Amino acid sequence: MERRDAVQVQQGSVEADPAVSVVILKDGPYLIRGAPPLHTQTIERNEQGQSWQFRQGRQFAVKDGTRLCRCGHSQNKPYCDGSHARADVDLTETATFEPMLDSAQEIDGPRYALTDNERYCAFARFCDNGEGIWNEVRQPGEQHARLTMYMAHHCPSGRLLVWDRATGELAEEPSPVSLSLIEDPGAGASGPLVLRGGIRVESASGESYEIRNRQTLCRCGASSNKPFCDGSHATIRFQDGL
Ligand code: FES
């Protein structure tokens, strides 16, 4: 069987054009295949001080073969400048290839079910609005249902997914293909590289991670779930200087 036959696609996600992918180079950067658009996205807060929306900012050029920093030490971010070879950072991949939902928790509400796999948390905090998504999903009524959906759809890592209990289907549309560099002034840090639209991520081993609509890849070098972000950028106050 060819390796591509083994690529898993999460229920409700659609794989991007296979010409677009992100390849992890062993102990090195992200190699971008295809030419997906790349912008900064700043997390803006609402009057309650909670993460509420993304503001799209500066665009960066990407072409087939572009290399993006994943050690956090490049002097030319978001691009790789070879600093990983001298930096004291362990870029070994530690994430599992198992489907995210295999180890997710499920919380059922009257209309939606929420699945949550905390291992993939990118600490974007959209889930803290209202009474928090874990309580909002349990509440009856249109307003709670709408807020639950809003928060889940803004979760950049895809840790949080909302399912329509009547149909069993994922309650979200596939996103357009894009790459985003997160800036999070509320946390005083720069954040992960967000992949939207079912972009395949290929390990340095040649194996592919499960394809998902929303994914966040570490670019600070500190995650304990590489290549995925685990929120450590907020702890170390990663600054990309963009
Ligand atoms: S960017 Fe989030 S842990 Fe590195």
CB of 51 within 6 A of ligand 1: the answer is no
Low-confidence ranges of the chain (pLDDT < 50): 1-4
Does the reported pTM lie above 0.85? yes
Q: Which residues of 81-114 are buried (b: 16+ CB within 10 A; e: fewer)?
A: ebbbeeeebebebebeeebbeeebeeeebebbbb
Q: Which of 63, 60, 42 is closest to 51 using CA atoms? A: 42
In the chain, how many domains are there? Answer: 1
Structural domain containing residue 161: 1-242
CB 127 within 8 A of CB 237: no
Q: Residue with structure tokens 């996205």?
A: 41
CB of 232 within 6 A of ligand 1: the answer is yes
Mean pLDDT of the chain: 96
CB of 219 within 6 A of ligand 1: the answer is yes
Residues 200-231 pLDDT 10s: 999 999 999 999 999 999 999 999 999 999 99
CB of 230 within 6 A of ligand 1: the answer is yes
- Residue 1 pLDDT: 35
CA of 140 to the centre of ligand 1 (A): 35
List C-alpha distances in Å: 213 to 14, 85, 171: 7, 32, 12
CB 23 within 8 A of CB 93: no
Q: Which of 71, 123, 184, 229 to mutate to test the pocket of ligand 1 (most atoms within 8 A of CB)?
A: 229
Rounded distance between C-alpha atoms, residue 224 and residue 92, angstroms: 9
Q: Which of 218, 225, 237 to mutate to test the pocket of ligand 1 (most atoms within 8 A of CB)?
A: 218
CB of 192 within 6 A of ligand 1: the answer is yes
CA of 224 to the centre of ligand 1 (A): 9
CB of 222 within 6 A of ligand 1: the answer is yes
Q: Which atom of ligand 1 is nearest to the CA of 221?
A: 4
CA of 174 to the centre of ligand 1 (A): 24
Q: Which of 73, 25, 16, 9 is closest to 195 using CA atoms? A: 16
- Residue 5 pLDDT: 54
Q: Which of 143, 145, 175 is closest to 158 using CA atoms? A: 175
Q: Which atom of ligand 1 is nearest to the CA of 190?
A: 1
Is the alpha carbon torsion for 170, 172, 175, 179 positive or negative? negative
The protein residue with its alpha carbon nearest to ligand 1, atom 2, reads 229
- Residue 18 pLDDT: 96
